[in-house]
Amino acid sequence: MSKTITPLIAGNWKMNGVSASLAELTALGQALTAGPAPRAIVVICPPATLLAAASAHGASSGILTGGQDCHPAKSGAHTGDISAAMLADAGAQYVIVGHSERRANHGETDELVRAKAEAGFAAGLKPIICVGETEAERDAGQAETVVERQLAGSIPDSEATFVVAYEPVWAIGTGRTPTNAEIAQMHARIRGVLTARFGERGASVNILYGGSLKPSNAREILAIEHVNGGLVGGASLLAKDFAAIISAV
């Protein structure tokens, strides 16, 4: 992990959580404030129904919040959707765009992900732009090609701050993870692409690893060069597990 980039640990609750789940956020805040301050930026991305409450809960302990998705339009006749401006109004500072579950289940293209990231910028949010290959693409030797295409198509040309999250699709929620060497190779490639495109600014972008990141493997994965934090799924739902990952930084 780079010593010049402040690590970012983001928890994606996905379609999990009701009001009672905020007790876990309270417990996380207590864990983070009981000892030395975390060496990472901590973000929770709850379902939209909990975003305002989560933002209020986390404020006293330094926990930031983000949305799990946003519509590219600022407002309009888009029943069931939520805009980046609405997320910001509810207290969010970040928004996840292009998660593989959105790309697969909702047919989201790189072009749409790019538009959502631009909407996030316009609302003052920092987009966490997700990329990653499927198992078939990796087995075919196309992993880097796929990720490079997603980076090119999904990241807007902007001076605004963004984050990249590399999530090998085949590792999300399966308990499987790439080898440390595979993670290192992909993160180095992503860093090279970002630096070639954005220059010095590309060298300072947080590149998160996601895909079955948990307390038992967090320390070794977060120590890999160019891994500047993690996007955590299931392990972020329990305060003790998420706090253990944060402490691994």
What residues are annotated to the active site? 99, 167
CA 178 – CA 181 distance, rounded (Å): 8
Q: Output the CA angle 64-102-50, nearest 5 degrees.
A: 35
CA distances from 170 to 58, 111, 134, 157, 244 (A): 32, 23, 6, 29, 24
CA distances from 245 to 33, 35, 56, 209, 239 (A): 15, 15, 23, 12, 10
Record the tokens describing residue 174, joined without a space.
């399966």
Using DSSP, how many helices (H) and how many strands (E) does the chain show? 10, 8
